[in-house]
Amino acid sequence: MNDISDILRALLDQLASTSEVEREFASMMNNDPQLKEDYKQWCDEMGYDAKTGYQDFIDEQMQDRDEFWEVMSE
């Protein structure tokens, strides 16, 4: 099974914007049926809606990163 959280975090580290991450992940799911099934299971386990789960996760990760840097700059 693919670790969706790890995949999304890796994409966030590699790509310049959240919209690029969203596009890349959507493309990956379109090309890999197993990833799509793993994503649906991940959404169920994490309590996300399958339509917006990866976007919600990305937003949460970005918020966590912003909060980290706010604390570090104080």
Question: How many angstroms separate the CA atoms of 50 and 62, rounded?
Answer: 19
Pinpoint the alpha helices (H) of the chain.
4-14, 18-31, 33-46, 53-73
pLDDT tens digit string along 16-72? 788 999 999 999 999 999 999 999 999 999 999 999 999 999 999 888 876 666 666
Whether the model clears a pTM of 0.75, i.e. scores above it, the answer is yes
Say if residues 14 and 43 touch (Cβ distance below 8 Å). no
Question: How many angstroms separate the CA atoms of 34 and 36, rounded?
Answer: 5
**pLDDT of res. 70:** 66
**pLDDT of res. 65:** 74
**pLDDT of res. 69:** 62
Amino acid at 23: R
